[in-house]
């Protein structure tokens, strides 16, 4: 099977996301791409179709393919992306600070989020995220201890998902997300550089394993001017 279309696709994903190809830039013609990659027009069209379906380019009949705007601080509604992965994509200086890490018994409210009995052992992690010198995200994570038996400050400062997937071999699968705009709390004002904004965008994640078990609840509170929450749909 010819997988050269994937090479073309990944080459242009890298060029677009790195900024080497800017918004509204025109891609080489199909003929030029065939010559460049030494492949067929069918393979080139398959790669361009994949770029189009993933919201990276727009194909305009009679004119060619053009790069769509890619905002480096966009936060995807679809998919599960860790802050470490997002920060790497943005290419901006970032820092995670652990406010607290506690092993405790779930109270009634947290237990209802995780669909477990009250007093079930859980981890509670509170962290702030700083990008380019501004603290703009407050994350509160709750994990079932039966799934995550150990957590450390150093893991929480780096990437919990990286630790779960690569060291504990825990297969994270999918999440249900709820997004609301809410009045900033005293905690938000204390922890975040809100710059006078009275509201925050709150993303609540209910994260499941491959066997559909709910093992994490997250409340992520964002300064509203710094992130767009996006998805891409094509008819």
Query: In the predicted model, is pLDDT for residue 72 greater than 50?
Result: no
Model pTM?
Answer: 0.68
Q: Where in the chain is the domain with CATH 1.10.10.10?
A: 4-67
Report in angstroms the alpha-carbon separations of 225 from 68, 81, 200. Answer: 22, 20, 9
Alpha-carbon distance of 80 to 88, in angstroms, equals: 15
Alpha-carbon distance of 129 to 138, in angstroms, equals: 6
26's CB contacts (< 8 A; 6+ apart) are: 64, 65, 66, 67
- What is the CA angle 124-117-177, rounded to 5? 55
Q: What CATH number matches the domain at 74-230, 3.40.50.1100, 3.40.50.300, 3.40.1410.10, 3.30.365.10?
A: 3.40.1410.10
227's CB contacts (< 8 A; 6+ apart) are: 73, 74, 75, 136, 201
Query: In the predicted model, is pLDDT for residue 74 greater than 80?
Result: no
Q: Where in the chain is the domain with CATH 3.40.1410.10?
A: 74-230
Please give the pLDDT value at position 73.
Answer: 53
Query: In the predicted model, is pLDDT for residue 1 greater than 50?
Result: no
Report in angstroms the alpha-carbon separations of 139 from 68, 116, 166, 201, 207. Answer: 31, 21, 22, 12, 14
Averaged pLDDT for residues 16-37: 89
- Kindly indicate the confidence band of residue 48, based on its pLDDT and cuts at 50, 70 and 90: very high
* CATH code assigned to 4-67: 1.10.10.10
Please give the pLDDT value at position 38.
Answer: 94
- Are the beta carbons of 107 and 101 closer than 8 angstroms? no
Across 146-172, b (16+ Cβ under 10 Å) vs e yields ebbeebeeebbeebbbebbeeeeeeeb
Alpha-carbon distance of 144 to 81, in angstroms, equals: 20
Averaged pLDDT for residues 1-18: 84
pLDDT tens string 81-121: 677 777 776 677 889 999 999 999 999 999 999 999 999 99
The residue ranking higher by pLDDT, 157 or 210, is: 157
- Kindly indicate the confidence band of residue 17, based on its pLDDT and cuts at 50, 70 and 90: confident
């Amino acid at each position: 099977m010819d997988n050269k279309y994937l090479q073309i696709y990944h080459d242009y994903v890298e060029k677009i996301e790195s900024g080497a190809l800017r918004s509204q830039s025109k891609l080489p013609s199909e003929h030029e791409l065939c010559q460049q990659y030494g492949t067929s027009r069918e393979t080139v069209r398959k790669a361009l179709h994949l770029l189009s379906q993933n919201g990276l380019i727009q194909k305009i009949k009679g004119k060619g393919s053009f790069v769509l705007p890619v905002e480096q601080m966009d936060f995807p509604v679809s998919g599960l992306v860790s802050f470490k992965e997002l920060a790497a994509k943005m290419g901006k200086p970032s820092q995670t600070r652990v406010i607290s890490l506690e092993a405790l018994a779930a109270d009634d409210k947290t237990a209802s989020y995780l669909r477990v009995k009250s007093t079930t052992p859980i981890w509670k992690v509170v962290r702030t995220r700083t990008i380019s010198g501004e603290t703009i995200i407050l994350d509160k994570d709750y994990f079932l201890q039966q799934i995550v038996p150990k957590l450390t400050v150093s893991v929480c400062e780096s990437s919990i998902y990286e630790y779960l997937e690569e060291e504990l071999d825990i297969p994270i699968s999918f999440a249900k997300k709820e997004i609301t705009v809410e009045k900033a709390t005293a905690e938000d004002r204390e922890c975040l550089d809100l710059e006078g904004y009275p509201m925050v965008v709150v993303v609540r994640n209910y994260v499941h394993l491959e066997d559909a078990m709910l093992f994490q609840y997250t409340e992520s509170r964002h300064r509203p001017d710094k992130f767009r929450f996006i998805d891409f749909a094509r008819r």
